[in-house]
Amino acid sequence: MCPECRALIDRDVSPCPLCGARIRSSRSQARILGGLLPLPSTASSAIVAATIALYALSWFLTQKSAEPGEVTSLGEIDGRVLIRLGAKFGPLIMAGEWWRLVTPIFLHAGLLHIGMNLWCLFDLGPTVESLFSTSKFIFFYFITGVIGFVFSFVWSPYGTSIGASGAILGLIGVLLGATYHHGTIGREYRSQLWRWLILIAVLGLFSATDNAAHLGGLVSGAVLGHFVPEGEPSTRATENAWNILAMISIMIIAASFALMALQMNRPLG
């Protein structure tokens, strides 16, 4: 990606064929390391921190709720704890707990689960945030994650599900949608994204995967990526609109976890 005009270009191309900016090799090296170390991006880092904090809380509650002498798997979270913390659980959603379509985006069932999703987020989050804007990224992550769990609820109304993978697939969808505006360079980048999808699909063969949530996130993300203009908002009015959407997203997330906290100790049965 060109650091000046934000065009999707090959990492080895210099200068940028669209704006003429010279691309330093350090940029390429930083992008290559993107899968290991997150590039500076406020919203992506905040989501990672919140996800890790909730995983730590769920692990603590799992250990606390274990029966004396009970052996718990390393890093595995008890299903009852996840439901109390806001997992997508169909019967409770039908009882009015709509916020269970929001809170599960930040919950994970074990070390492998959270590790894979954060690895993807480290790589994809800063890319989407820099290609579009921070406010657009926040809205994209929120809305594709929620739509993913709406798909999951419709497909399996009595099932339980958690994880950021719907939102992760949403980010891949956003980038896929955006590549159709970039000709040959877009096709090259699109092939890289398809490799991500193949990797996620293969890994899903070895674990319980919420394919409906993945589909909902991917499709909604692709629509957003295709129709939402890249870069920072071009006018003050559109900038304000995206800032409002991002703030509403944050407020809904905060309200959802507040409702979860109020009902956390309520008997489930």
Q: Which residues are catalytic?
A: 165, 214
Residue type for 196, please?
W
User: Distance (Å, rounded) from C-alpha 54 to C-alpha 94?
Assistant: 24
DSSP lists the bridge partners of residue 161 as 88
Kindly list the distances between the CA atom of residue 36 and the CA atoms of 29, 135, 214, 257, in Å, as whole numbers in the listed order: 12, 24, 23, 30
Q: Which two tokens stand for residue 240?
A: 């304000």
Please, what is the angle between helix 183-204 and helix 211-227, to 10°? 170
DSSP lists the bridge partners of residue 264 as none
